[in-house]
Structure 1
């Protein structure tokens, strides 16, 4: 078969459609970020654990239509199961409910009947554990995503430090959720719903320090600790206004980077669009890492 030095309109169309598919899917709050499943499964000859887990999931989904955070225990004694869900602070009730429902479905499919599990989606997470299960420290690193593209030029480190500091300042008010832009850096931070203001700030400070050591000069990053998480995305041409004003565009560094690609698309015409597209898409690919045997 021969090769051609020029691309056909059809092949270019396939490239464009593939890129749009990536952007479209990334705006969904139910995208899987990571899963953590305990190695051990229930020893459940009577079926009590299975029933308690089903009841727990049903309760979490029911509560998610009116709450952004909920914590409960189902069952008694050794068969009791503690469960939690939390949605991102800027999600609507409908989006929160949909996210939690998808998270419980993912847990059933990905973890089955393990004695503990955590499912992190882009807009929410659920976790549960049986009575007596050893919990991770609130500031233990569970998962990270660092953008593969490194910032060029001077001043980025100082700018990022200041932007991450804005998360800490924003969370000192005690509402447990903050999102905003600072000098071309879009940031987001959230603490687990029942974490006190002081503990929340301490957790986020730990997350920002881990980000500096883990992600360095990456233009985007996400750090997930047991009881809080942060994310950031750097936009050389300034943070898009919809990133700060629309709940549908707030979120992970990966999604915001992809939204920048969509914005670039709107202003470029012709064959050059395909070239620019492929160059920008390089920044979307991430380095992902799990930590610990339990959440691996």
Structure 2
């Protein structure tokens, strides 16, 4: 005796849906290697014996190696007049693996962008590298190296007051946070970071100087980034509220727009998966109806 029609339908549904694969959700990895700016000395080093090249290669190797276990490292390679000082720093929220992936791009990129100059600095979105030969002229920690301001202005609506309040919190927070801090206030997202060997008090002063530069240089721009020699800050204003960020610790300081895109991708995948499921269910309902009709006619 055969299965009852309703039981047959249930069996078909169970067998089919047991073999369905869930639609994978597209996870977009955050990109920490976007080039922000480069700073290259005009003078190339004279290296007839190859000692500078050897010292620089050894320096790069040491920095990349240390990036697997630290977010800031400073060292010297070579000796005497051919010694080269260098450092790297990763953004405070990067994991060790993300830090390494970021820093490992810098030696080749620095050589490509600057060549064999006596000093160079290359800043990516997640890390930077700096080196200079012994005796290179030092600059103030408050020296501005790079700025960028959003093209859109937010005139009125109390934006500048909200931004300045967020800046005030940032100035205090970066000192108590030992060189790295991020927060948001009424749709204004800010972050600041100081070079790893800068003391808390000096860090607060550096960020304060960067904030003042942002207020003057960017005015009512919707976003801005200010890079001084020893610290940097960035801010972004979101009129509709700061989008929810990914739960991943490595993306907690990514641009909120990137987080929005990732959530949108997940939503689309879920909708497509749900639509496919409903479609299959309708097909099986029609199939079962046909079976029941044939059974009744027999």
**TM (normalized to structure 1)?**
0.76
Bigger shift: 85-94 or 103-112?
Answer: 103-112
Larger Rg over CA atoms: 2
Q: 1:243, 1:250 within 8 Å by CA — same for their partners in 2?
A: no
What runs of 5+ residues in structure 1 fail to find an aligned partner?
1-23, 269-296
CA distance in 1, matches of 2:102, 2:127: 6
- Asked if residue 155 in structure 1 is aligned to residue 181 in structure 2, the reply is no
1:158-169 residue pairs with structure 2 within 5 A?
158-169=161-172
Gap change, CA 1:152 and 1:246, over 3 Å in 2: farther
* 1:91-110 paired onto structure 2 within 5 Å: 91-110=94-113
Q: Is the 8 A contact 1:179 1:244 kept in 2?
A: no
1:35 counterpart residue number: 38
2:190 to 187, 190, 194: 187
2:97, 2:118 → 1: CA distance? 29
Q: Secondary structure in 1 aligned to 2:33?
A: coil
Pick one of 104, 121, 125 that aligns with 1:122.
125
The structure 1 segments of at least 4 consecutive aligned residues displaced by more than 2 Å after TM superposition are 24-27, 243-247, 255-268
Cα deviations by residue, 1:131-176 (Å, 9 ceiling, x for unpaired): 0001221000000110000114321111000011121121121521
In structure 2, how many angstroms separate the alpha carbons of the residues matched to 1:244 and 1:163?
Answer: 23
Q: 1:267 and 1:148, CA in 2 relative to 1: closer, same or farther beyond 3 A? A: farther
Distance 2:132 2:83 in 1: 9
How far, CA to CA, are the matches of 1:172 and 1:227 in structure 2? 14
Distance of aligned partners of 1:250 and 1:160 in 2 relative to their CA distance in 1, 3 Å threshold: same
- 1:83 match: 86
Q: 1:220 maps to which residue? A: 223
Q: How many residues align?
A: 242
Aligned partner of 1:10 in structure 2 is: none
SS in 2 for 1:241: coil
Distance 1:68 1:95 in 2: 10
> 2-side partners of 1:48 and 1:170: how far apart?
44
- TM-score, with normalisation over the residues of structure 2? 0.76
Contact 1:144 1:224 in 2 (8 A): yes
Match runs of 1:20-59 below 5 Å = 27-59=30-62
Distance in 2 (CA, whole Å) between partners of 1:172 and 1:28 is: 27
Alpha-carbon distance between aligned partners in 1 of 2:267 and 2:89, rounded to the nearest angstrom: 37
Counterpart CA distance in 2 for 1:220 and 1:25 is: 24
1:241 matches 2:250: no
Q: Deviations over 1:258-294 (max 9, x none)?
A: 65577789999xxxxxxxxxxxxxxxxxxxxxxxxxx
Q: CA RMSD in A?
A: 2.2
- What is the distance in 1 between the residues matched to 2:29 and 2:207? 25
Q: 3-state DSSP class of the match of 1:247?
A: helix
